[in-house]
Amino acid sequence: MTAQIIDGKAQAQRLTATLTERVAARRAQGKPTPGLAVVLVGENAASQVYVRSKRRTSENAGMQSFAFDLPVETSHEALIAVIDRLNADPAVHGILVQLPLPKHVDTEAVTERIDPRKDVDGFHPYNIGRLVLKRPTLRPCTPYGCMTLLHSTGEDLVGRHAVVIGQSNIVGRPMALELLMARCTVTICHSATRDLPGLVRQADIVVAGVGKPNLVQGDWIKAGAIVIDVGINRTADGKLCGDVDFVAARERAGWITPVPGGVGPMTIATLLANTLRAAELQDS
């Protein structure tokens, strides 16, 4: 069996087109244009690429983009002051602080300082708590985007065994909560998990978010499984690849996301969806 490709780029374009129409409709009704503030501290090359893409995509969707590029030596207190200003600014509906932050900054304190109604990354304990309680408001973009990709297959997810590899706060944990909310039976694997291949072999759905190229081998994949590869890795020759051995896994899976062109574009489109949702929450 050769898997069908889950085209994240096409799905993201579809979602972004719908969001663009909804933003225009808001403006026509005299409602404020959704505003997204993206804060970058330092000059991490990968972060600069992500931030540029987030800003460009939000502008293309007719949103207002506010750029804050702060020097690496920005103090924790100065960053908190920027967040406070953005929290108080009615033109800013969404605040995203690009991670990772420099070591001298307390990332958790920064995340918790963002007004939960403007927390378009969905990382604030309030928003994670709502997801735990099955009453989500602003949901972490990457896992939420993965759910859109899973639903795009048209497969029934209810009762399926989903194996999530990785348990980080931004990928693995919220991914497991999303899958649980979709009524999957969920197994979470991490660096201390015993017999990862044996667990993956049982999975109807595999979501890999580790950051290790080819960690998930093709012969681990159950025939017909849906494989979502969140990993972004760079090979020695400079190419991007995921955590799954794509070529071998494609021969066994029913559906699979490519890297690039899978989860990455969907994450950004979902960020825009969250920004529009945040603006709607702040209308009232």
| Whether the Cβ atoms of residue 95 and residue 116 lie closer than 8 Å to each other | no
Q: Which CB, 151 or 183, lies closer to ligand NAD?
A: 151
Residue 284 Cβ vs ligand NAD, minimum distance, rounded to whole Å: 31
219 is catalytic: no
98 is catalytic: yes
Q: Of the ranges 26-34, 36-44, 118-126, 190-198, which one interacts with ligand NAD (CB under 6 A)?
A: 190-198
Q: Which CB, 71 or 197, lies closer to ligand NAD?
A: 197
Q: Which of 124, 125, 126, 120 is nearest to 138 (CA)?
A: 120
Of 7, 115, 119, 121, the catalytic one is: 121
Helix (H, G, I), strand (E, B) or coil at 45: helix
Cα separation, 149 vs 114, whole angstroms: 28
What Rg, from alpha-carbon coordinates, does the chain have?
19
In this structure, how many other beta carbons lie within 10 angstroms of the beta carbon of residue 254? 18
Sheet containing strand 35-41, strands side by side:
64-70, 35-41, 94-97
Binding to ligand NAD in span 243-272, by CB under 6 A: 263-264, 267
Q: Of the ranges 25-33, 119-127, 184-192, 197-205, which one interacts with ligand NAD (CB under 6 A)?
A: 184-192
235 binds ligand NAD (CB under 6 A): no
233-234 and 240-241: which strand pairing?
antiparallel
Binding to ligand NAD in span 195-224, by CB under 6 A: 196, 209-212, 215
Contacting ligand NAD (CB under 6 A), which of 185, 193, 202, 282? Answer: 193
171 binds ligand NAD (CB under 6 A): yes
Contacting ligand NAD (CB under 6 A), which of 137, 167, 257, 275? Answer: 167
Contacting ligand NAD (CB under 6 A), which of 58, 74, 142, 275? Answer: 142
Beta-strand (E) ranges in the chain?
4-5, 35-41, 64-70, 94-97, 161-165, 185-189, 205-208, 226-229, 233-234, 240-241, 255-256
156 is catalytic: no
Please tell me whether the peptide bond between 125 and the residue prior to it is cis, using omega within 30 degrees of 0: no
| Whether the Cβ atoms of residue 163 and residue 202 lie closer than 8 Å to each other | yes
| Whether the Cβ atoms of residue 11 and residue 145 lie closer than 8 Å to each other | no
Site string for ligand NAD, 61-100 (x = CB under 6 A): ----------------------------------------
Q: Site for ligand NAD (CB under 6 A): how many residues?
A: 25
Among all residues, which ones are annotated catalytic? Answer: 54, 98, 121
Residues that bind ligand NAD (CB under 6 A): 142, 165-168, 170-172, 189-191, 193, 196, 209-212, 215, 230-233, 263-264, 267
